[in-house]
Amino acid sequence: MAGIIDLRSDTVTHPTPKMREVMSRAEVGDDVYGEDPTVNRLQELAAEMLGKEAALFTASGTMSNLVGVLTHCGRGDEMIVGDQAHVFVYEVGGSSALGGVHVRTVPNRDGFPDPVEVEKAIRGQNVHFPRTRLVCLENTHNRCGGVVLTPEQTEAIAAVTHRKGLRLHMDGARLFNSAVAQGMPARRLVEQCDSVNVCLSKGLCAPVGSLLLGTKEYIEEARRWRKMVGGGMRQAGILAAAGIVALTEMVDRLAEDHTNARTMAEGVAQIPGLRVDLSSVQTNIVMVDIERAGMDGGVFTARMKESGVLVSYTGDGNRVRLVTHWGIERGDAERAVLAARRVMSA
């Protein structure tokens, strides 16, 4: 059998040869003191690319989101998120456990919460209620199949949020996928956001790291929260060097991942017993509904592995996820379709 094709996530990417090279000779200092020149360059580059005043290098997207929320909200405050949001489903309840932040959900509706429902969820002034402080969006949206949010959609939520005196946080772990898919600069997608998280270690291939962005004042406060949760890394320039390559050399190639995901989605959609909503395949994520396959997600995942393809079971009974990334080529996408066909034929 040929080598395993790993479609579990774009987090399985390895650093590129250029990343390994620059990491080996990165200029470093103590970043807790703000003295690592490579970290500082990465932060300045990201802030320029996304149109924000400042950026903070963090260990992961989960840490960026956690620090981002804790900087906006105090204990007992409330944030509003989509009911399928990564920050709600997959981040271990960190905002509540570590920050005492109350979470209120609204329906995601294919990745985009209805602005009317968001406004209804915002608490009025009442001694019985937590204070609503924050609204969180996600672009692209993981559990909704990698769908993009347009600038107009984000602006519609921002209009409600800011009119009510709240702040808007964007979980943009795959923001550059959204930008490439829509053919626009990433900064255009977050112009109305008060804070933004972008991940370097997914499709952009860096081995570690994310960035939290906002105003200078906001990032200074976020730096304290990062230290508190153990994210104050020292000679982190070794990691930041790979992040610089990620932002300067790996963004445009995301279009290849989107093309390969579409190839895979169209092939899988033709297999009896499997269903793919092709309208949701806008970037590098393919959600496959196996409800009519006669097996649950765990069994399907195991049988795909036997056929040489690793996929991710979402844990909700009848969906599995396939994600393209650097290192996955068109032939791999076609081979994954053949594997799914064999599984269903068996």
**Domain end residue (candidates: 200, 234, 249):** 249
Same domain, 133 and 240: yes
Same domain, 173 and 265: no
* Average pLDDT, integer, range 139-146: 96
Same domain, 290 and 232: no
**Domain end residue (candidates: 200, 218, 249):** 249
Judged by DSSP in three states, 301 sits in helix
pLDDT digits (tens, 9 = 90+) for 239-285: 999 999 999 999 999 999 999 999 999 999 999 999 999 999 999 99
Same domain, 105 and 153: yes
Judged by DSSP in three states, 289 sits in strand
Whole-prediction pTM: 0.96
The helix (run of H) or strand (run of E) holding residue 81 is: strand 78-82
| CATH number of the domain where residue 298 is located | 3.90.1150.10
d(CA 239, CA 233): 10
Answer with the residue of higher pLDDT: 292 or 183.
Answer: 183
Give residue 200's Cα distance to chain centre.
Answer: 10
* 337, two tokens: 């379709």
Same domain, 189 and 295: no
Range of the domain at 214: 17-249
d(CA 15, CA 251): 14
pLDDT digits (tens, 9 = 90+) for 223-242: 999 999 999 999 999 999 99
Report the interhelical angle of 175-182 vs 254-269 (nearest 10°).
Answer: 80
d(CA 214, CA 208): 21
Same domain, 111 and 237: yes
Task: Give the closest residue to 192 by CA, choosing from 164, 162, 148.
Answer: 162
Percentage of the residues of the chain whose pLDDT score is greater than 70 = 99
d(CA 270, CA 315): 24
Q: Write the DSSP symbol of residue 131.
A: P
| CATH number of the domain where residue 28 is located | 3.40.640.10
d(CA 312, CA 299): 11
Same domain, 162 and 279: no
Same domain, 244 and 145: yes
pLDDT digits (tens, 9 = 90+) for 206-220: 999 999 999 999 999
Same domain, 286 and 231: no
Q: Which amino acid is present at 272?
A: P
Same domain, 230 and 260: no
d(CA 37, CA 17): 22
Which pLDDT value is given to residue 1? 43
Domain count, the chain: 2
Same domain, 313 and 257: yes
Task: Give the closest residue to 94 by CA, choosing from 61, 136, 54, 65.
Answer: 65
**Domain end residue (candidates: 197, 231, 249):** 249
Same domain, 231 and 317: no
| Mean confidence (pLDDT) of the chain | 96
pLDDT digits (tens, 9 = 90+) for 37-66: 999 999 999 999 999 999 999 999 999 999
